[in-house]
Amino acid sequence: MAIHFTQDQMKKCQENHDLWWEGKLNRPLVKVVLTDAYEADRVTRAPFLSQASCADFSYTPEEIVDAMDAELSKCEFLGDAFPMINLDSFGPGVLAAMCGAKLDNSSGRVWFFPDEEREIADIHVKYDPDNKWSRRIKDIYSAGLNRWNGLVKMGFPDLGGVLDVAATFRGSENLLIDMIDEPDEVIRLAKEIEKAWREAYVDFASVLAPQGGYTHWSGLLSTEKSYIVQCDVSYMIGKKMFDQFVLDTIRNDSKTLRHTIYHLDGVGELNHLDSILALPDLNAVQWQFGDGKPGPMHWLDVYRKILDAGKLIMIEGKPEDYLEVINVLHGTPYATHAMSVKNKELALRMIEAR
């Protein structure tokens, strides 16, 4: 069974995403995936790629892609949704593994650990394009390109934030102490990781170029190079340290890549919003309020602050949250995370509300 999507649909979807990035769409991007819309036509040998299965190399890249294809063939893509594969299945901050850290998914979730604990002055990081994880992802990309010819957009892996990768090698608590006691070493290590990050990005982008567009774990699509940048460690530091250790990397990312969105993760990162919004080349902010917190309607002041700074916004939440927010922010240039639903009536209500 074929994926229920055409190249003409993909072209239109890509045009709308590009208009959104440029602030010219004049409506929100609303992506709704109707899961199980079609019956499965086969049982695949490989499981659908996930953090639980990413370290199982007994399946060929072609078998991995076949499992993805079978799953996507059950879906109907509505509104601005498109078939994509999210390679965050290798875990958040997988750049660490590509630079020599250990990837452990024995719990069913991916965690990264250094090969041994070192003082920060003894930690040096370099991207290895032939590392087993780098190679595996690129092999999956190649198999996907052969299978789909650009009809399915494959995303970048979740490389992680620079200081998040540093925390893998040094340990979060040690890194926080180093910011006080060894600031020059933290900056030196951050520059090494930033260089490795860019080399990894260029390496993956060169393989993905034939698919005719770029995406990542945010689910946003861009004709030109794009990424969702982040720094989860920033939840634990104040504005002064954020500006000292983090801001330059985000500034460089937003200058180097045509379309960038910052992943603002949790109330602890709101302290850094002013610094982030001051970056002239950053296009958008995704506000992730976190588990146990009120839904999007509670954070309208945050969304409006981002919009007032001339940035686009990406809104997280449930379908019902979206239907509430659309009444307040109708016509503003925001995007919704791709929402998977089983109720077609609800899906169509969301599309019609754009």
pLDDT tens, position by position, 73-82: 999 999 999 9
89-103, 263-277, 324-338: least confidently modelled range: 324-338
Cα distances from 122 to residues 94, 96, 125, 139, 324, in angstroms, run 21, 16, 10, 33, 52
| Torsion angles phi and psi, residue 159, rounded to 5 | -65, -30
Q: Which amino acid is at 268?
A: G
- Decide if pLDDT at 28 tops 80: yes
- Decide if pLDDT at 284 tops 90: yes
Q: What average pLDDT does the segment 160-167 reach? A: 98
The pLDDT mean for the chain works out to: 94
Strands 31-34 and 76-79: antiparallel
At 298 the pLDDT is 93
- Decide if pLDDT at 227 tops 80: yes
Query: 1 falls in which pLDDT band (50, 70, 90)?
Result: low
pTM above 0.75, yes or no: yes
- Decide if pLDDT at 195 tops 80: yes
What is the spatial distance between Cα 140 and Cα 339, in angstroms, rounded to a whole number? 25
Q: What average pLDDT does the segment 191-203 reach? A: 99
At 70 the pLDDT is 97
Q: What average pLDDT does the segment 81-93 reach? A: 96
Fold of 7-352: TIM Barrel (3.20.20)
What is the spatial distance between Cα 306 and Cα 108, in angstroms, rounded to a whole number? 36
Query: 10 falls in which pLDDT band (50, 70, 90)?
Result: very high
**29 and 77 Cβ atoms separated by less than 8 Å:** no
